[in-house]
Structure 1
Amino acid sequence: MAFENYPEAEQTPLKAVNGAPERKNNFRPIITGLLVAALLGTWGYIIYDKNQTKETIVQKDTMIASTSSQRDQLQKELEDAAMRYDVLKTSNSKKDSAITVKDKEIADKKSRIQELLNKANATQAELNEAKRLIASLNGDIEGYREQVAVLQQQKTQLIAEKEVVTQQRDRVQRNYDSSTLVLKQKEDMLNVASTLHASNFNIVGINEKSNGKEKTTSTAKRVDKLRISFDLDENMVSESGTKEIFVCITGPDGNPIAVQALGSGTFSTRAGVQKPYTQKLDVNYTQNKRQTISFDWKQNSDFATGNYKIEVYNNGFKVGEGFKPLKKGGLFS
Structure 2
Amino acid sequence: MLYEPIEPQQVAKKDKRNWIYSLFVVMLLGTWAYIIYDKSTTTHSKEQLQVQVNAIDSSKAELRVEFNATSARLDSLTGKHIQLIDKLADKNKTIQHLKNNIVALLQQRNTTATQLLQAKKMIDELNEKVNDLYNKLALLQSKNQALTLANEQLNNDKAHLQDTLSKTVAFNNYITNEASTLHASNFSIEALKLRNNGKEKMITIAKKADILRINFDLDENRIAPSGEKELYICIINPDGVIVSSGNTILTKKEGVKPYTIKVVVQYEQGKTATVNLNWRNNEDYQPGDYTIMVYQNGYKIGQGSILLKKSSLFG
Scaled by the length of structure 1, the TM-score of the pair is 0.61
Residue in structure 1 matched with residue 123 of structure 2 by the alignment: 134
User: Structure 1's 189 and 153: CA in aligned 2 closer, same or farther, altered over 3 A?
Assistant: closer
CA distances 1:159-194 after superposition (whole Å, capped 9, x unpaired): 89x59x96xx68x959x949x759938973995265
Q: Does 1:282 align with 2:267?
A: no
Deviation at 1:275, TM superposition (A): 3.3
* Structure ID, larger Rg: 1
Residue in structure 1 matched with residue 63 of structure 2 by the alignment: 74
Deviation at 1:294, TM superposition (A): 0.6
Residue in structure 2 matched with residue 249 of structure 1 by the alignment: 235
Residue in structure 1 matched with residue 250 of structure 2 by the alignment: 267
Residue in structure 1 matched with residue 92 of structure 2 by the alignment: 103
Whole-Å separation in 1 of the counterparts to 2:255 and 2:81: 58
User: Structure 1's 236 and 324: CA in aligned 2 closer, same or farther, altered over 3 A?
Assistant: closer
User: Structure 1's 249 and 109: CA in aligned 2 closer, same or farther, altered over 3 A?
Assistant: farther
Residue in structure 1 matched with residue 215 of structure 2 by the alignment: 230
1:169-188 equivalences under 5 Å are: 177=164, 184=171, 188=175
Whole-Å separation in 2 of the counterparts to 1:29 and 1:205: 182
1:69 counterpart SS class: helix
2:51 counterpart SS class: helix
Whole-Å separation in 2 of the counterparts to 1:218 and 1:126: 123
Q: Does 1:65 align with 2:54?
A: yes
- Residue 194 of structure 1 contacts residue 239 of structure 1 at CA under 8 Å; is this kept in 2? no
Matching residue within 310, 315, 319 for 2:301: 319
User: Structure 1's 81 and 239: CA in aligned 2 closer, same or farther, altered over 3 A?
Assistant: closer
Runs of at least 5 residues in structure 1 that lack an aligned partner in the other structure: 1-5, 12-27
Q: How many residue pairs align between the two structures?
A: 299
Whole-Å separation in 2 of the counterparts to 1:189 and 1:310: 25
User: Structure 1's 257 and 126: CA in aligned 2 closer, same or farther, altered over 3 A?
Assistant: farther
- Residue 194 of structure 1 contacts residue 235 of structure 1 at CA under 8 Å; is this kept in 2? no
- Residue 92 of structure 1 contacts residue 148 of structure 1 at CA under 8 Å; is this kept in 2? no
- Residue 187 of structure 2 contacts residue 216 of structure 2 at CA under 8 Å; is this kept in 1? yes
Residue in structure 2 matched with residue 16 of structure 1 by the alignment: none
Whole-Å separation in 1 of the counterparts to 2:285 and 2:190: 14
Deviation at 1:82, TM superposition (A): 4.1
**Amino acid paired to 2:230:** E
User: Structure 1's 183 and 327: CA in aligned 2 closer, same or farther, altered over 3 A?
Assistant: closer
Whole-Å separation in 2 of the counterparts to 1:255 and 1:35: 156
Runs of at least 5 residues in structure 2 that lack an aligned partner in the other structure: 5-16
Q: CA RMSD in A?
A: 5.6
Q: Does 1:294 align with 2:277?
A: yes
Whole-Å separation in 2 of the counterparts to 1:73 and 1:206: 120
Whole-Å separation in 1 of the counterparts to 2:262 and 2:133: 77
